[in-house]
Amino acid sequence: MARTATAARSAASDTDDSGANGSQTARALLGLRELIVGGELKAGERIAELAMVERLAVSRTPIRAALVRLQEEGLLEALPNGGFVVRDFSEADIHDAIELRGTLEGLAARLAAERGVPAAVLAEARDCLARIDALLAAPRLTPAAFAAYGVQNARLHALLAEMSGSPLLQRQIERVVTLPFASPNGFVMVDAQGPQARDRLLVAHDQHRALIDAIVKREGARAEALAREHARNAQRNLADALNNHRTLQRLPGANLIRRMR
């Protein structure tokens, strides 16, 4: 792979092209997150900056910026003498992350109901609902259908954050969902081949519909409760995954989980 030369060219242009530098930082961030969640960088492993420069074909400054960002997200821990190490997560950490997402999305739903939502945003949310309806109409879902569900599910949750009308809250939700286990899609694919997989998605989608209905009817307390209950689906799916080794291996970031003994 000709990554060394690419990295050298990137390093040469890094200091005089802020636009390229920003692009490199984004690429470094995505690449590092993928290595961590995918298990190539293990929990407890120290990140070697120069090795990442070679591996991701970006210069050192974007790597450092990405490392700081991943520390802020909670995937890395800063060492007292400098550098970063990959964090692990206890089961309690994961429960807390999911609960935090549910709390923030509950607040977003309540604000959306109380403040009202622009018609264009509601139309986009209804389009998501309709697309998921079409996917779930089949008696058995293919892996492609599950992947398509994940796309629409992520889109709907992003719209819910937007519906709040609060850029501050939207940013906080965007931060929490970057954790490997707090994403709305964190547990969607882990049981894609199980006999109850479609049934679980049907339950989740009924909650989607009820949530949007509560927002439209300006029922803030109901919308908040529905959003928080919807997030708790992930808690149940986590419990199931932790009790099934094969299922757990399909969970992105499973290598980061510190199991109770």
C-alpha span between 68 and 42 (Å, rounded)? 18
**pTM for the full model?**
0.76
* Distance from chain centroid for Cα 58: 24
Phi-psi group of 236: left, alpha or beta (phi > 0 → left; psi -120 to 50 → alpha; rest → beta): alpha
pLDDT number for residue 16: 37
Do 44 and 95 lie in one domain? The reply is no
Do 172 and 194 lie in one domain? The reply is yes
CATH of the domain at 126: 1.20.120.530
| Cα angle 33, 257, 36; round to 5 | 15
- What is the DSSP code string of 126-159? HHHHHHHHHHHTSSS--HHHHHHHHHHHHHHHHH
Domain extent for 29: 3-87
Using the 3D structure, point to which of 44, 61, 87 is the last residue of a domain.
87
Using the 3D structure, point to which of 37, 63, 87 is the last residue of a domain.
87
Do 251 and 146 lie in one domain? The reply is yes
Using the 3D structure, point to which of 64, 87, 110 is the last residue of a domain.
87
pLDDT number for residue 17: 40
Do 100 and 80 lie in one domain? The reply is no
Do 128 and 152 lie in one domain? The reply is yes
Q: Find out whether 221 and 110 touch, Cβ atoms under 8 Å.
A: yes
Given a cut of 50, the residues of the chain with pLDDT beneath it are 1-18
- Which tens digit of pLDDT belongs to each residue from 164-176? 999 999 999 998 8
